[in-house]
Structure 1
């Protein structure tokens, strides 16, 4: 993490700075799309986003790492240990593990609801025992904890231009949209983990079942009915993106370029999947580098323009703030935190 980001965020304690730096490394290494978008945020917001991502990535790796030889029981115990460390960090501010320490600090700085993390870990636990879902309704209950709460965690960091409760449903929908895209892109890898996030009712509507998907993954053979399922899933995913889109305008101007860029890049994965003939059981679809560069440049131009307006108006006129600053009680956070919108 750059010194500039940490200084701007008012993070001065050496151990805490190292903890945030660890989270940034995780984001840069594993969350390339998110990391690229995060670079468009004002520098003082970036450490918090890295901390949120770092924690989610850690939990996800416990349950999903295909290279790990850990048994299901060992993964369950690791998840319980993570949950205990998080509870201790949030309750007493005594976390020693770097990712938990950075996350706990972010939660206090921005007043993030602890329930979001409980819901998230509940969905992670279900991944250890649940390998499929009967309906979109059932899948939606899982995705509340695994995806919707990620958008809700981010909202206090990004800030809103109006009442936060109005933006919350759209933030939750965007988290779900991103995860549905992941499910489509990674359907083959998830099958290798013993999971299929396409509802049974969707498969049945096109006359296929899970065993047919596993056959296609194993043999490399194609089936037009599977393609139809994947096309329908992509259509459903696009509808969720449409539900999420109005929320971008509800964020503070300084954060909008970041979320707009993530929106365009992630929804662009669906375009890549379609262009590749829905061959996701056999290879991963990726957004071309040139397209990523064009989108990132557009986001950068927007971010620079918003910051220029903000500087000219002065800090007091930069945008609407939902509430007053959240002030830390520890010596490390004497700086007020404003709730600026994306």
Structure 2
């Protein structure tokens, strides 16, 4: 469902716009909502506005519209972002985002990159090498890291020589986990993100059998998924340096969001067969535990 379809008609107040974005986040963010709720109100609203627009782009890419209509939808979002604050949009997402951009140094150009990443999904782009895949991950997830950093802020992050690169690396780590978790679901939808050269070298040809189980052949696939999860964990190690650059509440938010995905990644590394016939997910109580530990200053990476 498009996020816009959930909003009432008419130009909202800024407060109403933020409330609408927070409602979308609470309903659809799943893993991210556990971290966002740890932020103070002003940052929570701003990050919810960022998420709501990212979600809309996702909905365009994953929806049932014809390809040309998807391209048109992505172009419209790009135009709205480029004109943000100079027009009188009635769309709650853009009303909230325009206000957030006045309050925080949000790198709005990252939304253009995100739209480019979604467009590559619509085109069915595949990736030859891991470096190619990293480029895609930077578009669809590194952008979210950089957008979030603009809201988190801190003197330490501002003075760090590459805080933006660290945030980008954390996004790349999370996206690798997404890809490993969803490899079966993506294949059923006609998408393959894993690098072709790596699959070939590992002796893997992805397929789903008559029972709906992913294979190709199973032993080689399991070994490849385990190695890929280990590589993703190394990216978490680079990205979670970000926690040391943030204030307590922002670090708790970031640590909770990343910690949930890191737990998923470790499950895949320990038992790759868990993703061969279902979409792996943590139960709500376990996500809450990760969030509570992050708020207490004991994020997932450091507790391992």
With the shorter chain as reference, the TM-score category is: 0.7 to 0.9
Aligned 8 A contact 1:155 1:171 in 2? yes
Contact map agreement 2:184 2:214 (CA 8 A) in 1? no
Query: Structure 2 vs 1, CA of residues 71 and 27 (structure 1 numbering), >3 Å: closer, same or farther?
Result: same
**Aligned position for 2:121:** 127
Two-structure CA RMSD over aligned residues (Å): 2.2
Give yes or no for the alignment of 1:285 onto 2:274. Answer: no
TM-score, normalised relative to structure 1: 0.77
Distance 2:271 2:155 in 1: 39
Could you tell me the TM-score, scaled by structure 2's length? 0.86
**2:52 equivalent in structure 1:** 54
Question: Which structure has the larger Rg over C-alpha atoms?
Answer: 1
Deviation at 1:278, TM superposition (A): 2.8
Shift of residue 276, structure 1, vs aligned partner:
4.9
3-state secondary structure, aligned to 2:107: coil
Aligned to 2:142: 148
- Which of the residues 188, 192, 215 maps onto 1:192? 188
Structure 1 portions without partners, runs of 5+: 1-12, 304-342
Unaligned residue ranges in structure 2 (runs of 5+): 1-10, 299-304
Range that drifts further, 160-169 or 240-249: 160-169
Aligned residues: 284
Contact 1:160–1:250, Cα closer than 8 Å, also in 2: yes
Change (3 A) 1:256 1:182: same
Structure 1, residues 230-280: CA drift from partner, whole Å, max 9, x if none? 112111111100111212101123311111222221100113334554332
Contact 1:276/1:285 (8 A) holds in 2: no
- Whole-angstrom distance in 2 between the partners of 1:214 and 1:25: 38
For residues 159-238 of structure 1, what are the structure 2 equivalents within 5 Å?
Answer: 159-162=153-156, 163-209=159-205, 213-216=206-209, 219-220=212-213, 222=215, 223-238=218-233
State the match for 2:247 in structure 1: 252
Q: CA distance change for structure 1 residues 294 and 197 in 2, over 3 Å: closer, same or farther? A: same
Partner of 1:278: helix, strand, or coil? Answer: helix
- Which is further off, 286-295 or 183-192? 286-295
Matched, 1:265 2:260: yes
Contact 1:59-1:124 within 8 A present in 2 as well:
yes
CA distance in 2 between counterparts of 1:257 and 1:111 reads 20
Q: Does 1:94 align with 2:94?
A: no
